[in-house]
Homo-oligomer: A and B are copies of this chain.
Amino acid sequence: MKIEINPPYLILLGDVKNSDYVKTGLGIVQWSRELVAGQLRFNDCLIDMGVPDMSISEALEHGVKSLIVGVNPVGGQLPESWWSVIEEAARSGLDIVSGLHEKLNNHKGVVSAAQKSGAKLIDVRSPPVNLPVGTHIKRQGKRLLTVATDCASGKKYTALAMTKYLNQAKVDATFRATGQTGIMIAGEGIPIDSVIADFISGASELVSPNNNEHHWDVIEGQGSLFHPGYSGVSLGLLHGSQPDAIIICHDALRTVSFEGHSLPSIQECIDIHLTMGRINNPKIVCVGVCVNTSQLSKDQRDDYLLNLENITGLPCVDPLIDGCEKIVKYLNGACK
């Protein structure tokens, strides 16, 4: 009942000229290079993700199974020139995977081509149907959830980085995706913010199923308990995940959200998450804070993180600069 994407991928970049529009494609290459066979670029494309260029027929020769629309066009609308390529791919039997607002199923040419070839059309914004209500039965294996003081504060990045550093430390760990880009990176997942409200925690349970006793699921958080627009998604995901550990994500310079409401202190954020998380996992602990310090000078950064460590008693890092070894070490001690 998850979305599942067949690798290897061919990532469609089309005529993209600005890397801001290719965050999804670049994210897949950065975190899941092994899933990617190549990129499909038009002649006037200005971006190169450093993977082999391939036409659709070359991709078929390389055993590619899915064409990934790895761009975020302004307004979510693709130019017509792209659709003919997508149609060709569907006709050739490649599954088409898209995170566009414009649904693949609304595009007649693509639907008809896919029907003839048997290709699947996968909109990663559309959740699976027949999701269950949460059971809240304790599942085997360990779970880490990334949470935040606000939206867009590095929850996906932190979850991906923690998975990498856990694996490097020989801890068995899997990244679990709950948003569209994460799903393309992981090759599976459920877009939690798109499910019916009654099924948020039930869908979250499916994202991190039973596993080996010492295995860690590292779950991509969504929204924030402190962002009134998406707090319901965040709380349902917290309760469905039943995490043993959380990591707080925060943007160092943000004291007010984009929408103008004030943000909690890190300690308040920790306390509320632990209080709410204890409802169905009394053993929940916070194992660290990941801060985006990209706007601070080196000295400011060091002061900021040291001060935060003194306040919280937890490892506090900028994962992009410091990595996550300190948090992995703390986690191994705190969650035996």
Contact = CB atoms under 8 A, between A and B. Distances in A.
Interface of A: 133-136, 192-198, 200-202, 225-226, 228-237, 239-240, 242, 259, 261, 264, 272, 275-276, 279-280
Contact of A239 (B193, B196, B231): B231
Given A232-B239, A261-B280, 5 more contacts: A197-B232, A201-B232, A235-B235, A264-B279, A272-B272
Contacts of A230: 198, 201
23 contacts: A135-B259, A136-B259, A192-B197, A194-B196, A196-B197, A197-B232, A197-B233, A197-B236, A200-B233, A201-B228, A201-B230, A228-B242, A229-B239, A231-B235, A231-B239, A231-B276, A231-B279, A232-B234, A232-B235, A233-B236, A234-B235, A261-B279, A272-B275
B136 A228 contact: yes
Contacts of A275: 272
A225 B235 contact: yes
A232 B232 contact: yes
Contacts of A135: 259
Nearest to A242: B228
Contacts of A279: 226, 228, 231, 261, 264
